Structure 1
Amino acid sequence: MDLIRNILLILHFVGLASLLGGFLVQIKPIIASKGTIVAAMFHGALTQLVTGVLLVGIIEMGSLGHIDNAKIGVKLVVLLVITVLVIVNRKKPSVSSLVLWAIGALTLANVAIAVLWK
């Protein structure tokens, strides 16, 4: 179980890197008030969602640690908002810079919640 948990955690980080990296490559176009939702952002959001849910399940099943349900609930809500923003806007040729900044800020907020919420 511990090996599965570690593999899921690595994949969760890969999803984070994909989502945040997709935002960061948009910084120059965002400053010009336009940008796009790149495929990396879509796949990163879905990877984060799936691996996050599986991580909670594996940890609960295997008694691999204590889960703070409030923290996980907040992180899930933030990730769901990110995922909805990405899915709704991914087919558009260009999106508002506000949408992209919201995705980037919410992604960083999720990282801060994961690290700082004790």
Structure 2
Amino acid sequence: MDILINVFVALHVIGIASLLGGFLTQMKAIGAGTARFTPAMLHGALTMLVTGVALVGLHQAEGHTVNNIKIGIKLAILVVILGIVYVKRDEETADKALFGAVGGLTMANIFIATLWT
């Protein structure tokens, strides 16, 4: 079971990298007002959602305690990210504030995951 958990952790990190990478590669475009939400950002967020739910289930199946408040906050942040990216994915350009919010919320999710013990 540990191998399966590690595989899902790796997939979760790949999802985070896709979402954050899509944001970071367009930092210059944000200033120019031409940034847009890419399919990689949507797919990364969806990957994070699916693998995160699987990880919670696998940890509970192993008998480990899960911090439900932490998971709930991370899930709420991810749902907001998914909502923004999904709704705005077909627009030619994204509003600077929304694009910045997605980047900030993604980084907040990373910090919550790593610093909240």
**Distance in 2 (alpha carbons) for counterparts of 1:21 and 1:49:** 17
Unaligned 5+ runs, structure 1: none
**Distance in 2 (alpha carbons) for counterparts of 1:70 and 1:115:** 15
The reply on whether 1:56 has 2:56 as its aligned counterpart is: yes
Q: Which amino acid aligns with 1:82?
A: I
Check whether the contact 2:33–2:93 (CA below 8 A) recurs between aligned residues: no
Percent identity, aligned pairs only, is 47
1:37 corresponds in structure 2 to 37
Q: Deviation of residue 38 (structure 1)?
A: 0.8
**Distance in 2 (alpha carbons) for counterparts of 1:13 and 1:39:** 17
Paired residues, number: 117
Unaligned 5+ runs, structure 2: none
2:110 corresponds in structure 1 to 111
Q: Deviation of residue 5 (structure 1)?
A: 0.6
Q: Write out the 4+ residue segments of structure 1 that deviate beyond 6 Å after TM superposition.
A: none
2:5 corresponds in structure 1 to 5
**Which segment is superposed worse, 44-53 or 93-102?**
93-102
**Distance in 1 (alpha carbons) for counterparts of 2:97 and 2:29:** 12
Q: Which amino acid aligns with 2:106?
A: T
What's the C-alpha RMSD, in Å, of the aligned pairs? Answer: 0.8
**Distance in 2 (alpha carbons) for counterparts of 1:34 and 1:93:** 8
Q: Deviation of residue 111 (structure 1)?
A: 0.6
Q: How does 1:63-82 map to 2 (within 5 A)?
A: 63=63, 65-82=64-81
Q: Which amino acid aligns with 2:6?
A: N
**Distance in 1 (alpha carbons) for counterparts of 2:95 and 2:35:** 7
Normalising by structure 2, report the TM-score.
0.96
